[in-house]
C-alpha cells in the first residue's frame, strides 16, 4: 500500500506533510507534492497534517482522483513524467 496526494494539493502545497514524513518520500514539483509509492512505509503521519485533506491511502482515493495514483507513482520515472501526466489529466478533465 501507499499514500497518494490528490488534486486538492494544487494551489495549497502546504508542505507540512514533508516535515512529518519519517522516510522523506514526499517530493515537491511546481504545483503540488507527490508520494513515491516504493518508498512510502504507510505510517499515515502525513494524512492528518494536510490542511486540505489531499492525502489518502491508495485504497481510499476518491473515484474522480484515481489518475493521481499514477501521477504520484510516476515519480519513479522522473519529475518530467509526473508533470506530463498531470498536464494530460488536466487536459482531459477540462
Ligand atoms: Fe511518508 Fe508515512 Fe505519508 Fe508514506 S504515509 S508518505 S511514509 S508520512
Least Cα distance to 85 among 32, 41, 13 occurs for 32
The mean predicted confidence, pLDDT, of the chain is 96
Task: Provide the grid cell at 39.
Answer: 518508498
The band of 94, judged by pLDDT with boundaries at 50, 70 and 90, is low
Task: Provide the grid cell at 75.
Answer: 515519480
Taking the centre of ligand 1 as the mean of its atom positions, its distance from the CA of residue 20, in whole angstroms, is 8
Q: Which helix (H) or strand (E) holds 4?
A: strand 3-5
Question: pLDDT tens digit string along 67-91?
Answer: 999 999 999 999 999 999 999 999 9
Question: Which CATH number fits the domain that encloses residue 26?
Answer: 3.30.70.20
Average pLDDT over residues 33-52: 98
Count structural domains, the chain. Answer: 1
Contact 35, 25 (CB under 8 A): yes
CA distances in angstroms from 11 to 6, 27, 65, listed in the order given: 12, 16, 16
Domain extent for 10? 3-93
Taking the centre of ligand 1 as the mean of its atom positions, its distance from the CA of residue 92, in whole angstroms, is 29
Amino acid at each position: 500500500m501507499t499514500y497518494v496526494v490528490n488534486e486538492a494539493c494544487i494551489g495549497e502545497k502546504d508542505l507540512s506533510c514533508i516535515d512529518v514524513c519519517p522516510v522523506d518520500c514526499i517530493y515537491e514539483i511546481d504545483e503540488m507534492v507527490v508520494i513515491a509509492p516504493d518508498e512510502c512505509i504507510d505510517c499515515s503521519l502525513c494524512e492528518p497534517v494536510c490542511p486540505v485533506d489531499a492525502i489518502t491511502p491508495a485504497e481510499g482515493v476518491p473515484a474522480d482522483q484515481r489518475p493521481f495514483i499514477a501521477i504520484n507513482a510516476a515519480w519513479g520515472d522522473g519529475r518530467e513524467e509526473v508533470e506530463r501526466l498531470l498536464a494530460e489529466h488536466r487536459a482531459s478533465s477540462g
